[in-house]
Chains A and B, each alone.
Chain A
Amino acid sequence: MKKELIELKVNGRTHELAIEPRALLLDVLRQDLDLTGSKRGCDESSCGACTVLIDGVAMMSCTLLAASCEEQEITTIEGVSQHGSLAAIQKAYGDWGGAQCGFCTPGFIMTVKSLLAENPDPSEADVRAALSSNLCRCTGYSQMYEAIRSAIAAEQQGAAAK
């Protein structure tokens, strides 16, 4: 298939790419941009391991055409840590055992980021509902809730200190 030139804005940087029009965003991120943090756990948007933010909204990149994301802000897990240090949610996932094998973790963190952007102080039911878009086979989710709670507390403390 003939390739076409597109521009993708990923983690604040603009990339000019020649891709097949049918190329999926996940493949472009992983193969063309070498951003392998977003994972392929299934092929049908049922596991959420490929979740990225498109203009701040959590989307599963394995069933999204890359060409449809032109002129949108794409954030991947590689764009989450800031100023050379772990974001609160990343630190908390490590501390509280939210990540075991870690394969689903990038997707979960993107989902959590989108949740917290919308609702900075979610109830446990809100968290459960939001996380239900992603699957994990290691943790049974419990330690993720603790991680999220602790990240929210850390963010609030950080905000209060400012």
Chain B
Amino acid sequence: MTDFSIIGKPTAMVDAAEKTTGGGKYTDDLSVPGMLVGKILHSPYPHARIRRIDASRAEKLDGVLAVVVGKDAPNPYGILPVGHDEYALALDKVRYVGDNVACVVAVSEAIAEKAVELIDVEYEVLPAYFDPEESMKAQRDLIHDNKPGNLEKDYHHAFGDPDKGFAEANHIAEARFIANEVTHAAMEPHSTLASFELDPHTGKMGRLTVWSSTQVPYYLQHKLSLVLEMPMAQIRVIKPLVGGGFGGKSEVIPIEIIAAIAARKAQAPVKITYTREEVFWAHRGRPRTIIDLKTGITNDGRITCVKARVVQDGGAYCSYGVVTILYSGALLGALYDIPNIQYDGYRVLTNKPACGAMRGHGTVNVRFAFESQLDELAAKIGMDPAEIRQRNLLKPPCITVNGLRVQSYGLPECIEKTVERSGWKQRRGKLPRGRGLGIACSHYVSGAANSIIRSDMPHSTVNIKIDRDGGVVVYTGASEIGQGSDTMTAQVAAEVLGCSLARVRIIAADTDLTPIDIGSYSSRVTFMAGNATLRAAEDVKKRIAAAAAKKMNCAAEDLVFREDVVFKKGSVPPTAKRDEAEEVEVTQAGASVSGRVEGQILRGSLQQKRKEEGPKDWMTFEEAVVAAIDFHGALTGTGSYAPPQEARGGKHKGGGVGPSPAYSYSAQVAEVSVDEDTGEVTVHKVWAAHDCGRALNPVSVEGQIIGSVWMGMGQALTEEMVWKDGMLMNAGMLEYRSPSSVESPEVEPIIVESIDPEGPFGAKECSEGSLAATIPAISNAIYDAVGVRLHESPFTPERVLAALRAKRKDKALNLTEGVDPTSPARFREHGGSLCFKGKGPERHPLDPAHRQAPAVSGGTD
């Protein structure tokens, strides 16, 4: 059935009014009586042993209730079971500038800030590591004692026969690519409010409630239980509105645990909200990545082999690192048909904030390298870059050489549509000097087939309750973070039950009320929570249908639920007969009738109408519900989703990461112009086709596509975390250069629907897969415009200019420290922006950057 009444129609989000009126509450908007404020003391050193912490001066300050330090909660934790290497507050060592050392709880923010400065910490400074390739050589002063060579994890995979693959190739390209570090910078800074209740039986502190800006309430509940040594059942995590996540809130940022231990010590509710600068330190973004890539193709454009060596600058803790480095290799597969793949991945620890999961987790930087290299190879054999991609398509259903199952595959249509809409064939090569077009593709998982904590537990479970009022309440653990999760849930439930969206209420992400859902990450919600919702709704519907069928004297299978009416198949439902005016009236009546049994107080007119009509071949949704409730009592239904065994991937070590029940696909064409005098790149337009299986809410799908492309463009052109001696030099929204409206191009989203056989109504993910294609589409367009290949992102004016000058064999400008951006050989000491070659901004007196204040060069900009 393709004729839907709810899904597939542009729908305003169910929480849109809360957001546009300012009435909706985010964590920092909440307060409870007696609430105190927490402020965290951060490490000024990138790597140091803590000799002593003396908080006595801070504790004596009027208005300070408590000072919390590491030994108040000494249990290690981490988002991955293999990576329990973090402490809420540093125990004996700090590992990055910004590491959490102590937390002051006070009656006001001003007092807390003052008290933080009164904490005396004695450090023994240790040598620090900032460059992953240097860090790997470390013999002593390791960042974590149990990680020799500061190596968090390495993987070495070979699928097919890589040597044979390269032997079969007619052309081989080999190059080093570097993608610099970026961060989520979600608009809402992380915030947590923690409060204990007194237990009526013991009289002591009992249950803990935590409100937090999190994408993963259940993981948070689990980690809190681990660190606080409390049973999970004593902890309630509530996720209020969340102001964007992009992966940055998909793990336990210590703030949540710190707030809980602070509340325990201060014996009062505590709220901690990060400043914007602290958000940058908390980070967990996309690591700087060195990719040594080698690709072989035949004369007719077939890829014979890919070999990638990937080194990720992971920062000081494991975080999601082991998963990130695996995704980088695994998703070399499942986009094109590549018969031989060799992958060597190294996740390296450095003394910088930990990197974690960020939109397009693990795949983005490698995709930039791969799609750029494919473009080079196409040029080498004189083939249209769109065509070389079409030559290497998969033939689904299939299982890739690295064990990924692909079913629905909209990539061919994505390429076709972007090529057509962008005028690729007619315009490419005919644009004025300095202007060019580039194409690239990407894909992403619709949820990981294996959860972080391996178990047979369903990944999503949804409960539905329908009572006599005819209201449908959906209880889901899925976390709305702005992507439209609650709206998707409501749409799926309403579509299955054939009721209006207004009937559906979503209760989401509250561990006391909602069944377990592992969270909003890896683009899993629509596919997994959507499927669970669909099953829960069908579960309840079955019972309603049985009762209604009895009343209507027919078989339950013969009933159709649609637009708040239950009617016999083949009969003309009253909704179809009504003209518009009546429809409004009846829908409103339907919504306001207070669901009581016939013979009691039904609305006079409606009752009369029903009598006149004689034997029923239809009844309202509410009447059907009441009929079922008379039979069963209040209706509840449960549905859950676990990915099928066949989709869980190969048996090789690390084979658990990468498999997904379905993959989304994207193809993009970018049109850019390059100013050859300044090196400035302007993106004029991006055509982005995305295969989302089925667009449940087209306006949201388009929003997600545009947002992904936009974020990819930010990484491609301006966004970059700039470091000096482990110090982040641009910890602010303007300094980080998140693009504003004037720098943002037009993005034309093109929805492609491949109807996945297992997705809810055929739907797959739409929030991440488009990001990765944007960066190489832009770099390929730059090549088309001015003939230079950029191998290091972002493509800032100085990098582009250096590349242009290198191509013209002009003397290199002293802008990028002698590194050719078309073939970067090593990481520079810091991210590479020239403005910090001289004196950085003034900071704390203990700042390591002060140790050897470099001579001011006068600036080269």
| Chain A residues close to B by CB (< 8 Å) | 30-31, 35-44, 46-47, 49, 76-78, 80-81, 86, 89-91, 93-97, 99-106, 109, 127-129, 131-132, 134-144
A-B contact pairs, 16 of them (CB 8 A): A30-B29, A36-B28, A37-B22, A86-B17, A94-B19, A97-B13, A99-B20, A101-B186, A102-B243, A103-B187, A128-B741, A137-B184, A137-B244, A137-B246, A140-B706, A140-B709
One of B273, B482, B699, B741 near A102 (C-beta < 8 A): B482
**B293 at interface by CB-CB < 8 Å:** no
CB-based contact A93/B186 at 8 Å: no
Whether B25 is near chain A, meaning CB under 8 Å from some CB there, is yes
Given A40-B189, A140-B709: A103 and B747 within 8 A (CB)? no
Contact B747 A39 (CB under 8 A): no
Q: Give the interface segment out of B324-332, B371-379, B730-738, B812-820.
A: B730-738
A90 touches B17 (CB 8 A): yes
B711 interface residue per 8 A CB criterion: yes
**B742 touching A132 by the CB < 8 A rule?**
yes
In chain B, residues 1-32, which have Cβ atoms closer than 8 Å to a Cβ of chain A? 10, 12-13, 15-26, 28-29, 31
Q: Which residue of A lies closest to B29 (CB)?
A: A36
Closest B-chain residue to A107, C-beta based?
Answer: B187
Cβ of B706 and Cβ of A40 under 8 Å apart?
A: no
A132 touches B741 (CB 8 A): yes
Assess the A78–B12 pair: CB atoms within 8 A.
no
Nearest-Cβ distance from residue A19 to partner chain B, whole angstroms: 12
What's the nearest-Cβ distance from chain B to residue A38, in Å? 7
Assuming A81-B21, A93-B16, A97-B700, is B733 touching A42 (CB within 8 A)? Answer: yes
Q: Of A81, A138, A144, which one neighbours B482 at CB under 8 angstroms? A: A138
Inter-chain CA distance A90–B19, complex, in Å, is: 9
Q: How many residues of B contact A (CB 8 A)?
A: 57
The answer, among B29, B185, B245, B741, for a CB contact under 8 Å with A131, is: B741
Interface centre among A46, A128, A138 (most CB of B within 10 A): A138
Question: Contacts A40-B28, A44-B732, A138-B707: A86 and B21 contacting too (C-beta < 8 A)?
Answer: yes
**Chain A CB within 8 A of B702 CB:** yes
Q: A138 to B31, alpha carbons, bound, how many Å?
A: 27
Tell which of B24, B706, B733 touches A47, judged by Cβ atoms closer than 8 Å.
B733
Q: A78-B22, A136-B187, A139-B703 are in contact. List 15 more A-B contacts (CB 8 A).
A: A40-B28, A44-B732, A77-B20, A81-B21, A94-B20, A97-B703, A101-B243, A103-B241, A103-B244, A103-B482, A131-B740, A132-B742, A135-B733, A139-B707, A140-B744
B524 to chain A, nearest CB (A): 18
| Contact present for B733 and A128 (CB under 8 Å) | no
Nearest-Cβ distance from residue A116 to partner chain B, whole angstroms: 15
Contact of B242 with A by CB under 8 A: yes
Are B21 and A80 in contact, CB atoms less than 8 angstroms apart? yes
Which residue of the partner chain B has the closest CB to A36?
A: B29
Interface string of B23-53 (1 = CB under 8 A from A): 1111011010000000000000000000000
Query: Could you tell me the distance in whole angstroms from the C-beta of B508 to the nearest C-beta in chain A?
Result: 14
Q: What 3 pairs between A and B have smallest CB-CB spacing?
A: A37-B22, A101-B482, A102-B19
* Complex: A81 Cα to B738 Cα, angstroms: 30
Chain A residues positioned under 8 Å from B10 (CB to CB):
95
Q: Determine which of B16, B29, B481, B746 lies in contact with A142 in the assembled complex, contact meaning CB atoms within 8 Å.
A: B746
- Contact string against A for B residues 475-489, beta-carbon threshold 8 Å, 1 for contact and 0 otherwise: 000000111100000
Q: Is B276's beta carbon under 8 Å from chain A?
A: yes
* B607: interface (CB < 8 Å): no
B483 contacts A100, CB within 8 Å? yes
Known A-B contacts A137-B711, A140-B710; A103 and B702 likewise in contact (beta carbons under 8 Å): no
Residue B86, interface by CB 8 Å: no
- Given the complex, which residues of A lie within 8 Å of B16, measured CB to CB? 93-95, 99, 102
**Contact status A77-B186, CB under 8 Å:** no
With both beta carbons as reference points, the residue of chain A lying nearest to B746 in the complex is identified as A142
Provide the B415-438 mask, 1 if CB < 8 A to any CB of A, else 0: 000000000000000000000000
Contact A94:B742 (CB < 8 A) given known A30-B29, A46-B734, A103-B243: no
Task: Find chain B residues with CB under 8 A from A36 CB.
Answer: 22, 25-26, 28-29
B275 within 8 Å of A by Cβ? yes
Separation in Å of the B738 CB from the closest CB of chain A? 6
| A140 and B747 in contact, given A80-B21, A102-B15 (Cβ under 8 angstroms) | yes
Rounded to whole Å, the gap between the CB of B24 and the closest CB of chain A is 6
Pairwise interchain contact A37-B21, C-beta atoms closer than 8 A: yes
State whether the Cβ of B59 lies closer than 8 Å to any Cβ in chain A.
no
Please tell me if B671 contacts chain A, counting CB pairs below 8 Å: no
A39–B188 contact, CB under 8 A?
yes
- Measured CB to CB, the nearest residue on chain B to A35 is B22
Decide if B741 touches A41 in the complex (CB within 8 Å): no
Complex Cα gap A31–B700 (Å) = 33
Residues of B within 8 Å of A76, CB to CB, are: 22
Residue from B24, B185, B276, B481 in contact with A43 in the complex, judged by beta carbons closer than 8 Å: B276
A131 to B741, CA, bound (A): 6
Instruction: Specify the chain A residue showing the minimal Cβ separation from B187.
Output: A103
B734 contacts across to A, CB distance below 8 A: 44, 46
A37-B23 contact given A43-B275, A100-B484, A137-B184, CB 8 Å threshold: yes
Residue of B nearest to A104 (CB): B187
In the bound complex, how far is the Cα of B31 from the Cα of A109, in angstroms?
A: 25
Residues of chain A with a CB closer than 8 A to B25's CB: 36
- Is there contact, CB below 8 Å, between B21 and A101? no
A136 to B734, CA, bound (A): 12
Residue of B12, B732, B733, B747 most packed against chain A (CB within 10 A): B733
Check if B17 sits within 8 Å of A101, measured CB to CB.
no
Contacts of B188 in A (CB 8 A): 39, 41, 101, 103
Whether the pair B740, A97 counts as a contact (CB closer than 8 A) is no
The interface centre, meaning the residue of B241, B711, B738, B744 with most chain A CB atoms within 10 A of its CB, is B744
Q: A100-B483, A100-B703, A100-B707 are in contact. Are A135 and B21 (CB under 8 A)?
A: no
Candidate in A94, A97, A131 with the most chain B CB atoms within 10 angstroms: A97
Q: Which residues of B contact A86 (CB under 8 A)?
A: 17, 20-21
Give the distance in Å from the alpha carbon of A109 to the alpha carbon of B20 in the complex.
8
- CB-CB under 8 A from B243, the residues of chain A are 39, 41, 101-104
A142, chain B: closest CB distance, angstroms = 5
A143-B187 in contact (CB<8A): no
